[in-house]
């Protein structure tokens, strides 16, 4: 479904499954970071788009264990067409530069 980067730390993925006919609007977000103790944190957030949703944070001692967890999570999202009838799509958000500006189409705008 999605190729993971070689360096998983500070990686983020946003997925959405939308179908107006089925009244379905789901979002799924995976964020990987490192905590102050050197452990790898994988944060999951999911729910209906526009609603509060649910969150889960899992800590791993190694990046390889976190990678396996993320791969299993993504393989579950890849089976969505069979389970819920709608495929998850990768959502591309405009990137923010280090100075707090949004970069889209080569034009920088000050972020609110």
Domain boundaries, the chain: 11-110
Supply the pTM of this predicted model. Answer: 0.77
Res 8: pLDDT: 85
Instruction: Judge whether residue 107 has pLDDT over 50.
Output: no
Q: For tokens 């999570």, what's the residue?
A: 73
51: number of Cβ within 10 Å: 10
- Cβ pair 49, 24 in contact under 8 A: no
pLDDT of residue 28: 95
């Amino acid at each position: 479904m999605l190729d993971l980067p070689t360096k998983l730390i500070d990686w983020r993925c946003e997925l959405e499954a939308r179908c107006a006919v089925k009244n379905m609007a789901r979002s799924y977000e995976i964020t990987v970071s490192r905590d102050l103790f050197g452990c790898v944190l994988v944060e999951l957030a999911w729910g209906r788009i526009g609603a509060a949703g649910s969150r889960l944070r899992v800590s791993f001692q190694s990046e390889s264990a976190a990678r396996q967890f993320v791969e299993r999570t993504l393989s579950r999202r890849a089976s969505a067409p069979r389970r819920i009838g709608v495929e998850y799509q990768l959502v591309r958000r405009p990137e923010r530069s280090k100075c707090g500006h949004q970069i889209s189409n080569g034009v920088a705008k000050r972020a609110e």
